[in-house]
Amino acid sequence: MSNIISTDSLFNDQQRHVIAAIADAMISADEAVNLPSASDSAILKTIMAKSEHFADRLVKYIEVFCKEIDPVTATPEALLGALDKNPQFRSFSKILTIIVMQSYYQDPRVLAAHGLAARPPFPLGHEVEAGDWSLLDPVKNRDPIYRPV
């Protein structure tokens, strides 16, 4: 978790808007199933914190990317097309895809909407069925399969 406060962000407002636009293009809201956009303020905050680790590279990518397309006014389809179809943005796309997916799928609202536990694994853990151990019976009836030495 970054402890950089907002006024110390490694991104300016324009860069932040670009990342937000790309995040929304990748995962948009679906209110019918209570799923927010990836540019939702809480999720975007996580995205920006994770992006700090790659700030030097992302700032350079954003500068070049904005010469190809205006991310703020382009449609999501056009934005994703420019990002994913141009080889010069391959690393940019990969970094942002990972950050957006990681940030989105740790949000409690997203997890709850998908029927998943909206909490960290620890300390409650999970239940896992022991399973049907009689499935082992055919294997138990086999002769040894290791080579004797």
Partner 1 sequence: MSLEPVDVLIIGAGASAATFAWSMADTRMQILCLEQGDWVNPSEYPSSTMDWESDNKFNSNPNHRANAADYPINDAESPISIANYNGVGGGTILFAGHYPRFHPSDFRVKSLDGVADDWPVDYQLLEKYYDENDRMMGVSGLAGDPAYPPKNAVMPPIPLGRAGETLARGLNDLGWHWWPSDMAIATEQYDGRDKCINLGACGSGCAQGAKASTDITYWPHAIRAGVQLKTQCRVREITVNKEGKATGAIYYDADGNEQFQPAEMVVMACNGIGTPRILLNSTSAQFPEGLGNSSGMVGKNLMFHPYAAVEGIFKEAMDGAKGPHKCVACHEFYETNLDRGFVRGFSFETQRGYGPAATAMRGVFTGRIPKGKGHHGAYGKLNERILGLVAICEDLPELHNQVTLDPELTDAHGIPAAKIQYTLSENSQKMLDFAVARGTEAMEAAGAEDIIAQRLIGNAGWHNMGTARMGTDPKTSVVNGWGRSHDVKNLFVIDGSVFVTSAAVNPTRTIQALALYFADTIKQKLASATLFD
**What DSSP state is assigned to residue 8?**
G
- Residue pair 79/22 in contact (Cβ under 8 Å)? The answer is yes
Q: Is 87 in the site for partner 1 (CB under 8 A)?
A: no
Q: Compute how many residues bind partner 1; rule: CB under 8 A.
A: 57
Does residue 146 touch partner 1 according to CB under 8 A? yes
The smaller minimum CB distance to partner 1, of residues 47 and 62, is found at 47
Residue matched to tokens 């324009």 = 14
Among residues 144, 17, 134, the alpha carbon closest in space to that of 74 is found at: 17
The only residue of 20, 21, 26, 48 in contact with partner 1, by rule CB under 8 A = 26
Residue 105 near residue 40, CB atoms below 8 Å? no
Rg (CA), the chain: 22
What binding mask, one character per residue, do residues 126-145 give for partner 1 by CB under 8 A, x or -? xxxxxxxx-xx-xxx-xxxx
Closest CA to 50 of 114, 88, 106: 106
What is the footprint of partner 1 within residues 34-63 (CB under 8 A)? 35, 46, 50, 53
Residues at the contact surface with partner 1, assessed by CB under 8 A: 1, 25-28, 30, 33, 35, 46, 50, 53, 76-77, 80, 84, 97-98, 101-102, 104-108, 110-111, 114-116, 119-133, 135-136, 138-140, 142-149
